[in-house]
Amino acid sequence: MSVSEMSPAPDAAQQPTLDVRDLCTSFHTRAGVLPAVRNVSLRVQPGRILGLVGESGSGKSVTGFSILGLVDEPGRISGGQVLFKGRDLTRLSASQLRDIQGNRVAMIFQDPMMTLNPVLRVDTQMIEAVRAHSPLSKREAREHASRTLALMGIASPEERLRAYPHQLSGGMRQRVAIAIALLHAPDLIIADEPTTALDVTIQAQILSEVQKLVREQGTSLIWITHDLSVIAGLADDVAVMYAGRIVEQGSVADVLDRPQHPYTQGLIDSLPSRNQRGQRLRQIPGMAPDLLSMPVGCAFAARCPRASQVCAQEPQPHEARPGQMVRCFHPGAADAQ
């Protein structure tokens, strides 16, 4: 499979912030080798927002962790490249990688309750994050932290700086976590379901603030989520993952309005919507396959309404519509079937 096939390249002249090629990450457990991420290729242009969608265990978080070099034993990046502005992050030494982590590439984690150290005050943690990558004095670092908190829409940042994480609300904590990610104005932010643990109104506020900041600063953003409605409102492009592979990729308008892959179709169908009031939600039958005993051929075939003989072979990604990649033998809108 060639790389360019999988990634849409809307603007070939511009160097992408992130160019992931054929990334494979597997976990070597006692029960066997779990291929959590298989041949994932992604491309994010400066100032664009990519939504990475999938259900639990589809490998979307592991993809995010792999990009930032945070995969722990027994996990291992077993192949592929992570080109960040042309530099392959998988080949950097630990200290070279640390120079980039939090500085040029930052990560926002899922649970705001867990990402802040409970025994350290917010200022301690933010000053440390500032000074990990810049020679500022403690006072300057503190001022910078305070300005960044204000940028995230936090009122009286000085007061929040003196607080301990448990004194802040969930939304406030996630704002602090996002502010920490923004401290060094990174080129790329990987956000791993950062608003899942928050209630909907807070989620909407944070989404709009993040969107604004990303647009203003030209930051690239990968937003990992299982929530298609978040993607619809936030992202420019979307990649749908299933069982460790990207099954469909393209612009949000294309993928959500004219899904080509039956899995994407299934995801959209399982959302409640206005025009099917009173009807039962259509869920995708069956369960995601066990990564330890992956079926030969298309991983989705067992649950797929369009499956046929040919699906026993591995489908290769191809362009079903211009700029819309799909990994399926039977692409097309559901109505066409």
Residue ranges that bind other proteins, judged by CB under 8 A? 68, 70, 98-103, 106-107, 109-111, 114-121, 128-129, 132-133, 156, 159, 162-164, 166-167, 177, 180
Beta carbon nearer to other proteins, 115 or 260: 115
| Strands across the sheet containing 32-44 | 32-44, 18-29, 75-84, 87-88
What is the smallest separation between the CB atom of 84 and other proteins, expressed in angstroms? Answer: 14
Q: Name beta bridge partners: 33.
A: 28
What is the smallest separation between the CB atom of 251 and other proteins, expressed in angstroms? Answer: 29
Work out the angle between the directed axes of helices 122-131 and 170-182 (0-180°, nearest 10). Answer: 20
Beta carbon nearer to other proteins, 150 or 294: 150
What is the smallest separation between the CB atom of 21 and other proteins, expressed in angstroms? Answer: 22
Beta carbon nearer to other proteins, 70 or 207: 70
Buried-state track 189-206, b at ≥16 Cβ within 10 A, e below 16: bbbbbbbbbbeeebbeeb
Residues whose CB falls within 8 Å of the CB of residue 298, separated by 6 or more in sequence, listed in order: 304, 307, 311, 312, 313, 314, 315, 327, 328, 329
Beta carbon nearer to other proteins, 123 or 254: 123
Beta carbon nearer to other proteins, 101 or 225: 101
What is the smallest separation between the CB atom of 319 and other proteins, expressed in angstroms? Answer: 34
Which burial class, exposed, middle or buried, applies to 4 when counting CB atoms under 10 A from its CB (0-12, 13-18, 19+)? exposed
Residues whose CB falls within 8 Å of the CB of residue 36, separated by 6 or more in sequence, listed in order: 25, 26, 27, 59, 62, 75, 244, 291
What is the smallest separation between the CB atom of 304 and other proteins, expressed in angstroms? Answer: 35
What is the smallest separation between the CB atom of 268 and other proteins, expressed in angstroms? Answer: 31
Beta carbon nearer to other proteins, 132 or 150: 132
In single-letter form, the type of residue at position 65 comes to: F
Beta carbon nearer to other proteins, 192 or 237: 192
DSSP assigned state of 198: S
What is the smallest separation between the CB atom of 158 and other proteins, expressed in angstroms? Answer: 11
Number of C-beta neighbours around residue 220 at 10 A: 23
What is the smallest separation between the CB atom of 104 and other proteins, expressed in angstroms? Answer: 9
Can you tell me the distance from the alpha carbon of 244 to that of 95, in angstroms, rounded to the nearest whole number? Answer: 29
| Helices (H), ranges, 137-227 | 138-151, 157-161, 170-182, 200-217
Task: Give the 3-state secondary structure of residue 32.
Answer: strand
Contact 268, 232 (CB under 8 A): no
Beta carbon nearer to other proteins, 8 or 186: 186
Residues whose CB falls within 8 Å of the CB of residue 114, separated by 6 or more in sequence, listed in order: none
